[in-house]
Amino acid sequence: MSLEKELNLSVPIKLDSHEALLNIYYTASCLKKKADEFFKPFGLTDVQFNLMVLLKHQAEDNGGLSQARLSQMMLVNRANITSLVDRMEKAQFVERTASANDRRYNIVKLTAKGQKLLKEVEELYAREVKKIMSVLQELEQKKLISMLEKVRAGLQ
Amino acid sequence: MSLEKELNLSVPIKLDSHEALLNIYYTASCLKKKADEFFKPFGLTDVQFNLMVLLKHQAEDNGGLSQARLSQMMLVNRANITSLVDRMEKAQFVERTASANDRRYNIVKLTAKGQKLLKEVEELYAREVKKIMSVLQELEQKKLISMLEKVRAGLQ
DNA sequence: GGCGTATGGTATATATATAAACAGTTGGCG
DNA sequence: CGCCAACTGTTTATATATATACCATACGCC
């Protein structure tokens, strides 16, 4: 359905390019809502799940990741990670360890509880993602990815 | 550039469909950052600009819009609009009027100051959007829109 | 070895988002 | 007419985001 109908606008969007941009924006917003709904029963948010996935799959030798590294991979300000890890530490999903080499760093790792939960959720999540994106054929998905990469590249 | 490189991931994203979904998500995030940067010199945020555009173009007879209507068109919870309009009223971009017909409603309208600012920003914004999306040809933009509509439709 | 610069994490102020509970208003229907 | 159900806007608690300023630490270079 067109954005115009979905948002119940009384006047159509003038620029095609604006409509395309708004589509990216609103689709992401809908996906986020859907994700938050999906994660809620597990006591997680989409952001927290994302952080756990990064800890599991992107840490070499399972050695954990620094908060700064996490902030780069999540495209957020590093100030953000402080409170996020605070909350997740309180929920016992992750733990901070001071780095031995460089005392500026906090190394964040999954706890046993975090690992167990992640294992449980990850598979269901993958299935859900496949289902959601299955409305597009494989070639379309690749085309979509390449178009969005072009848009990001154009932003500098 | 691929998400893998942009985020400096050490392990590639396994599922194509997940990569597509993350591309939507991260592109929206990059666009939002770009937009906020763009609006900052005018003392606006992207959300505030969006609200002003709706007030200007979607209100029939320039009669303003209720907060509930705004929340529907912005795809946010109506609780959100309260503080948003509070801030914008304080900045004198908009004003609330009690509806004559139905005392439950607040009608939100642009002030003269808001109209003047919007007029100034809107044109620059349209130019910027055209520039950003010009990395895609017109047909590609239409294809992008239709793919994103399909994704949203699949979410129910 | 010591100093300036860069980097990591934190604190604060601010903006945006949700959900849930509440009060006031409206409207339908017996 | 009166009650109930639905709707609007607000409040509160919570989660996420930014920018900025700050402190501790590390590193390069003289």
Q: Do A87 and A93 touch, CB atoms closer than 8 A?
A: no
Q: Which residues of B touch A20 (CB under 8 A)?
A: 133, 136, 141, 144-145
Paired tokens of B35? 């937009």
pLDDT digits (tens, 9 = 90+) for A88-99: 999 999 999 988
Q: Which residues of A touch B6 (CB under 8 A)?
A: 152
The stretch A78-90 carries a mean pLDDT of 97
Distance CA A57, CA A55 (A): 6
In the complex, which nucleotide's C1' lies nearest to the CA atom of residue A32? C17
A73 touches chain B (CB under 8 A): yes
Picking from B50, B152, B155, B156 by the largest number of A CB atoms within 10 A of its own CB, the best residue to mutate is: B152
**Does position B68 have pLDDT exceeding 90, yes or no?**
yes
Distance CA A45, CA A41 (A): 10
Q: Which residues pair with A96 in a beta bridge?
A: A108
Residue A109 exposure: Cα atoms within 13 Å on the Cβ side: 11
> Which of A15, A58, A140 is the closest to B129 by Cβ?
A15
Q: pTM of the predicted model, to two decimals?
A: 0.91
Distance CA B60, CA B63 (A): 6
For residue B49, the tally of other CB atoms under 10 A from its CB is 21
**Contact flag, residue B84 CB and nucleic strand C, below 7 A:** yes
Paired tokens of A40? 């809620």
Give the bases of strand D that a protein CB approaches within 7 Å: 7-13, 15-21, 24-27
End-to-end CA distance of chain A: give it in Å, rounded: 31
> A116 φ, ψ to 5°?
-65, -45
Average pLDDT value over all residues in chain A = 94
Distance CA B27, CA B32 (A): 8
pLDDT of residue A10: 86
Q: Do B154 and A135 touch, CB atoms closer than 8 A?
A: yes
Give the bases of strand C that a protein CB approaches within 7 Å: 7-13, 15-21, 24-27
pLDDT digits (tens, 9 = 90+) for A37-57: 999 999 999 999 999 999 999
Q: Do B50 and B87 touch, CB atoms closer than 8 A?
A: no
Looking up tokens 């597009």 gives: A136
Q: Do B109 and B98 touch, CB atoms closer than 8 A?
A: no
Q: Which residues of A touch B128 (CB under 8 A)?
A: none
Q: Report CB contact under 8 Å: A17, B129.
A: yes
**Does position A63 have pLDDT exceeding 80, yes or no?**
yes
pLDDT digits (tens, 9 = 90+) for B92-131: 999 999 888 888 999 999 999 999 999 999 999 999 999 9
